[in-house]
Amino acid sequence: MPCLSLKTPKKMDNFVGRESTLEMLDEYLSPDTPATHHRLRSFAICGLGGIGKTELAVKYAYSRRQYFDVVFWLRANDEETLAADIAGIAVELGLTSASINVAAGRDIAMRWLSQPTRKSGLPDTSQNSLNWLLIYDNVDDLDVLRNNWPQFGTGSILITTRDAQAQHSRYAENGVNLAPLSDTESQDLIQRLTHVPATPSQEEALCLLSKKLDGLPLAINHVSAVFRKMGLSHSELLRCCSKGGIDKILERQGKIQGGRYLYWSLDRLSDPARALLQVISLLDQDNIPRKMLLYRTSKAKLRNYPSCVAEYMDAQEELFSSSLLNLDRDQWKLSLHRLVQDLVRLSMDEDTLFAAFHMALDLVIIGWPFQSTKDHNPIARLEKCEQVFPSVLCLKDGLKQLINTSPHFPLNVDIARLLNDAGRYMLERGLPDETKSLCELALEIGQRLEGVQSSSQEAIATIRESHSVLGIALAETTGNGKVGSSA
């Protein structure tokens, strides 16, 4: 102790403004506030994509770390990832080993959060008790919190979400709809990111440019990246944005809330960089193993996808320099903002989407450590599964949507095999309830392929496998006394 575990998020060196909001967070989350000292404290930061919710949460974690003995960052995109991150609390605090299944690890972490102590077995005195802060990032579906929320304890919980109703929910006592940066704050951020202070002759251009970007930190970040890359002055960039040159520098890709637009440099990307970004946009936006994108595949064909390591490195560097992609050098994982992810997906036509989806599926299938019938060792494959599984979940959700909206989307038995084995992995992690959605989709795919002559026998095998895994999951769920919830 103290323990600050933020994983992917990094300290925001260029953070500006939000002082009043930080003070509001102190009011509701600080353990030193007398009115809330003896109960659980919670607060929701709500707002549209790109408004700076995650950045504000990171700033709070670092700037207020003296208030808390333990701070943990939890990815709340889906229930499986969130449960695994909560189980990780028990591992990082040394309460259990990394080989324990997720459900058991989560229970251990929840018990500790209800009565956090420096040393177990000693009385819960002021000298032995601790203050903790949990940050649930990207809670856009409040249902993921149902089984992953501390029921007891006196800690602090900060939520970031696009759902404005979260601040009036059973989870968050209070909240705020995060407003765009003010004109002054936007100008300050532009100058910090471009490393070019505005001269008196450029001040008016900087002011007008900040107004065009609507105070959205993500938009400011992307425009500043183009500024640095092209060596423009503030007035030159403003002129390009105002007089039709926008299509040569930044492409207007998507309309978001309140009639505001975000500007993107997608039109300036090379073909390999764009194809790489299209595949990445279909995977988990926070947790993409870089080496997975380098696998050689001969099955899926996406036009212009990097064909060798050198071409891949050039495309990746281009995405980095455009601030469209981030790299966690500690774990060598890639990430991108969810709004970038959404807009890249929307920019693809149907043929490109199908090709990119199959490319992403093929890369994940190559990277997934399928269970061996001869040498079954769930512990040995645990680490590899943890790296790839978040992207399996993203592809599963995308597949369900594609199957429902595009009946002619081409399917194959390898997809069903992946989903079935991912379902087995959930069993190994002690989460039989989560097995159901994976294997039911695999079953649907197998049934659609059963009548196709070229894959009929293989499809029948995947159908049997789906039923087998679902049966085991049902038996384990029933054994745990959850028949009612499963039904």
How do residues 68-94 score in pLDDT, each as one tens digit? 989 999 999 888 899 999 999 998 888
Cα–Cα distance, 309 to 80 (Å, whole number)? 32
Tokens at 293, concatenated = 């994108």
Q: In what order do the strands lie in the sheet with 333-335?
A: 288-289, 333-335, 326-328
Give residues with Cβ within 8 angstroms of 201, minimum separation 6. Answer: 235
Quote the pLDDT of residue 121: 62
Poorest-pLDDT segment among 105-109, 248-252, 457-461:
248-252
pLDDT in tens, 158-194: 999 988 888 888 888 889 998 888 889 998 998 888 8
Give residues with Cβ within 8 angstroms of 112, minimum separation 6. Answer: 89, 90, 93, 95
Looking at every residue in the chain, the average pLDDT score rounds to 82
pLDDT in tens, 189-224: 988 888 888 788 888 888 888 887 778 888 788 778
Quote the pLDDT of residue 480: 61
Q: Does residue 110 surpass a pLDDT of 90? A: yes
pLDDT band at 241 (very low <50, low <70, confident <90, very high): low
**Structural element, H or E, at residue 479:** helix 456-479
Quote the pLDDT of residue 394: 92
Q: Does residue 391 surpass a pLDDT of 50? A: yes
CA angle, 420 as apex, 414 and 422 as ends, to 5°? Answer: 100
Q: Give whichever of 48-52, 328-332, 395-399 has the largest mean pLDDT.
A: 395-399
Q: Does residue 443 surpass a pLDDT of 50? A: yes
- Rg over CA atoms, the chain: 24
pLDDT band at 256 (very low <50, low <70, confident <90, very high): very low
Give residues with Cβ within 8 angstroms of 435, minimum separation 6. Answer: 423, 424, 426, 427, 469, 470, 472, 473
Q: What is the mean pLDDT of the segment spanning 329-352?
A: 82
Q: What is the mean pLDDT of the segment spanning 453-478?
A: 86
pLDDT band at 340 (very low <50, low <70, confident <90, very high): confident
User: 189 — phi, psi (to 5°)?
Assistant: -65, -40
Quote the pLDDT of residue 249: 45
Higher pLDDT, 418 or 477: 418
Q: Does residue 468 surpass a pLDDT of 90? A: yes
Q: What is the mean pLDDT of the segment spanning 29-47?
A: 80
3-state secondary structure at position 108: helix
Cα–Cα distance, 112 to 114 (Å, whole number)? 5
Quote the pLDDT of residue 301: 79
State the DSSP code for 211.
H
Tokens at 76, concatenated = 């709340």
3-state secondary structure at position 263: strand
Poorest-pLDDT segment among 21-30, 208-217, 236-245, 368-377:
236-245
Tokens at 376, concatenated = 């079954």
Structural domains of the chain in order of their starting residue, each with its CATH number: 3-177 (3.40.50.300), 183-267 (no CATH), 270-480 (no CATH)
Strand partners, 175: 44
Q: Does residue 305 surpass a pLDDT of 60? A: yes
Would you say the C-alpha torsion 377, 378, 382, 384 has a positive or negative sign? positive
pLDDT in tens, 122-159: 666 666 678 899 999 999 888 899 889 998 878 899 99
Q: How far is CA 226 from CA 167, 195, 230, 241, 276, in A?
A: 36, 13, 6, 12, 19
* Residue bearing tokens 């500790």: 112
CA angle, 361 as apex, 87 and 289 as ends, to 5°? Answer: 50
